[in-house]
Amino acid sequence: MTRRYRALVVVFMLVALVLVSLALALSYDSPCGPPASLPDDTTRMKAIVSRCYGSPDVLTLEEIAKPTAADNEVLVKVHAAAVNPLDWHYMRGIPYIMRMESGLGTPKDTRVGVDFAGTVEAVGRNVTRFKPGDEVFGGKSGALAEYVTVREDRALVRKPSNLTFEQAASVPVAAITALQGLRDKGRIQPGQKVLINGASGGVGTFAVQIAKSFGADVTGVCSTRNVELVRSIGADHVIDYTQEDFTKGEQRYDLIVDNVGSHSFSEYRRVLKPKGTFVIVGGPTGDPWIGPLAQPIKAGMLSPFVSQEFVMFLAELNQEDLEVISGLMRAGKVTPVIDRRYKLSEAPAAIRYLEEGRARGKIVVSLE
């Protein structure tokens, strides 16, 4: 064996060792630790906590310290929250690759939930946009709790008076995803033919309504039991995927927003106009390593070789876009669709139901 060959073998073994160690570290689930003990004089609140990765069984309702607003923050008493697929991705730590950010072994952030609506209870001394008593909604990690604190310039806006707290809580992640997918990635235009695959779910019910507000001709794809729902929120055409495969039809679309990943890219391409855009919002859960990232990776490899545009994105919660959606709701152009309601103590059941992938609109957790 030459010296160079031996060196190559050593390098190969070292790389393999590093990769195996990384894989073990990423996929290892540490046991759940005990709740943190609080000094007796701590002001407390109830919150859903996850101190280890796993099924909804790892979620517990606990008493933790009630937060206080920093100088640039608003303290909100939460009346309602909503759950999103991202909550169960963080709860399970899947795909494993995300644990590089969310924590190895156990989650770094034990708080759960993002979407909330409630009443401002207190504001920091530098806050000018909000005052105690304001009814608000927004997004902040840890929303499945009695209180959240949010920076006044982050994803927080006043609740339109024509919305209940439950309706407002269902908006942030799903509606912002729909808006950014259609407007920023899809560059939607009036009169365009737009297809929403997965029109009856959390993102889909907002996407149908927002696409209509842009003046598009909207086709929603859903199963038989949701056909009337999707029609009732404004879709011009509804395709029941149990009866008809839209990728085999004659209609060609300017824009497809895909919440499901139920077809191959060559099937989608067939019904996309030559200069059409395909926006990947979600896809099959897939394997636990890269999971929903498989679709965007394939799309990235396909894009340079075809005339159509295939794009994926991660929605970004921000105040400006929440205001845009608030405006649409005030004008009656967008109305949240709520499927089921749960109590805070039932948050594990809410997430278990969401994980089944059969939600009709949004799943809400009420704290009142």
Ligand X SMILES: NC(=O)c1ccc[n+]([C@@H]2O[C@H](COP(=O)([O-])OP(=O)(O)OC[C@H]3O[C@@H](n4cnc5c(N)ncnc54)[C@H](OP(=O)(O)O)[C@@H]3O)[C@@H](O)[C@H]2O)c1
Q: Under a CB-based contact definition with an 8 Å cutoff, are residues 64 and 49 in contact?
A: yes
**Of 71 and 287, CB closest to ligand X:** 287
| 221 part of the interface to ligand X, by CB under 6 A | yes
**Of 107 and 181, CB closest to ligand X:** 181
| 202 part of the interface to ligand X, by CB under 6 A | yes
# chain residues binding ligand X, by CB under 6 A: 31
| 204 part of the interface to ligand X, by CB under 6 A | yes
**Of 142 and 291, CB closest to ligand X:** 291
Q: Which of 281, 322, 347, 367 binds ligand X (CB under 6 A)?
A: 281
| 173 part of the interface to ligand X, by CB under 6 A | yes
**Of 108 and 358, CB closest to ligand X:** 358
**Of 64 and 174, CB closest to ligand X:** 174
Q: What residues form DSSP beta bridges with 59?
A: 50
Q: Which of 96, 116, 241, 278 binds ligand X (CB under 6 A)?
A: 241
Q: Which of residues 77-116 bind ligand X (CB under 6 A)?
A: 84-85
Q: Which of residues 36-65 bind ligand X (CB under 6 A)?
A: none
| 209 part of the interface to ligand X, by CB under 6 A | no
- The residue type of 55 is S
Q: Which of 80, 82, 360, 364 binds ligand X (CB under 6 A)?
A: 360
**Of 187 and 358, CB closest to ligand X:** 358
CB of 88 to ligand X, least distance (A): 9
Largest Cα–Cα separation, the chain: 79
| 247 part of the interface to ligand X, by CB under 6 A | no
Instruction: Using alpha carbons, select from 287, 300, 260, 283 the residue that is nearest to residue 97.
Output: 287
- The residue type of 39 is P
Site string for ligand X, 258-277 (x = CB under 6 A): -xx-x---------------
**Of 262 and 318, CB closest to ligand X:** 262
CB of 143 to ligand X, least distance (A): 15
CB of 319 to ligand X, least distance (A): 17
Q: Which of 315, 317, 324, 329 binds ligand X (CB under 6 A)?
A: 315
Give just the sign of the alpha carbon dihedral 55, 353, 350, 69: positive
**Of 64 and 256, CB closest to ligand X:** 256
SS (H, E, C) the chain: CCHHHHHHHHHHHHHHHHHHHHHHHHHCECCCCCCCCCCCCCCEEEEEEECCCCCHHHEEEEEEECCCCCCCEEEEEEEEEEECHHHHHHHHCCCHHHHHHHCCECCCCCECCCEEEEEEEEECCCCCCCCCCCEEEEECCCCCECEEEEECCCCEEECCCCCCHHHHHCCHHHHHHHHHHHHHHCCCCCCCEEEEECCCCHHHHHHHHHHHHCCCEEEEEECHHHHHHHHHCCCCEEEECCCCCHHHCCCCEEEEEECCCCCCHHHHHHCEEEEEEEEECCCCCCCCCCHHHHHHHHHHHHHHHCCCEEEECCCCCCHHHHHHHHHHHHCCCCCCCEEEEEEHHHHHHHHHHHHCCCCCCEEEEECC
| 291 part of the interface to ligand X, by CB under 6 A | no
Of 98-106, 128-136, 202-210, 325-333, which segment contacts ligand X by CB under 6 A? 202-210
| Residues found near ligand X in the complex (CB under 6 A) | 84-85, 173-174, 177, 197-198, 200-204, 221-223, 226, 241, 259-260, 262, 281-282, 292, 313-315, 354, 357-360
